[in-house]
Amino acid sequence: MEKLVEQAAGVIIESRMTVALTGAGISVESGIPDFRSAGGLWSKYDPAEYATISAFRANPKKVWKMLWEMGEVVGQARPNKAHLAMGELESIGLLHCIITQNVDNLHQAGGSRNVIEYHGNSSTLSCLWCGKRYRVEEKRDENPPRCECQNVLKPDVIFFGEAIPEDAMRRSFEFASSAQALLVVGTSAVVSPVNTIPSIAKRSGAKIIEINRERTHLTDSLTDIFFQGSAGEIMPQIVEAAKRKRGKPLP
């Protein structure tokens, strides 16, 4: 493990553009189950019934049964050591962008500033009818939350059947094409179109550093350095090794 940590830190130090791609796995240690896991939302709620934009438009009150449960879990979560390590890596100029599939705002809470949210963010709500936007905290006591126009509000997350925000796609592809190092953390990268990010980066010459609890389709095809284990344990080690290599004193 120590040798791999030193190798990964060396790749990051030498990289002029380092990007991270993260998924549900990085937030599991913060208490948010992967939607597709045994304890995840999709084991309780059929996504075809509760997670499509057409389902929301047809019966928003029904969909809010699932959304309220998701909001309770996400609202109690706090950034873990992996989120904090990435925030520190950005603060010392060694991580330039995070592309995340998560909607939990934990990267920002962990100190990261340049975050591309592929699937939106659950901390704000919007009205599909009049366009007014609210912070979740403003509507904490309403179930379901309603706009001043009395329509039910939708969280600013991407439902199945909605397009990925154009700006998020454009910027993520630009960063992937410029990356010299790509950290893949807590994701198997199988969901389209974000699953193209690792191959775009690889074709552009980036080194791929993967941290996942299980091997993925990337491990034997694109990954250069693979860590099998907890991102919360591994990411801080990589950051400390990178700081040492730069000659920075440890705190």
Catalytic residue ranges: 119
Phi and psi torsions of 116, nearest 5°: -100, 120
Closest CA to 100 of 91, 92, 109: 109
44: CB partners within 8 A, 6+ apart: 66, 69
8-state DSSP, 196? G
160 DSSP β-pair partners: 52
Phi and psi torsions of 216, nearest 5°: -125, 180
Q: How are beta strands 120-126 and 97-100 bridged, if at all?
A: unpaired
Closest CA to 11 of 210, 185, 155: 210
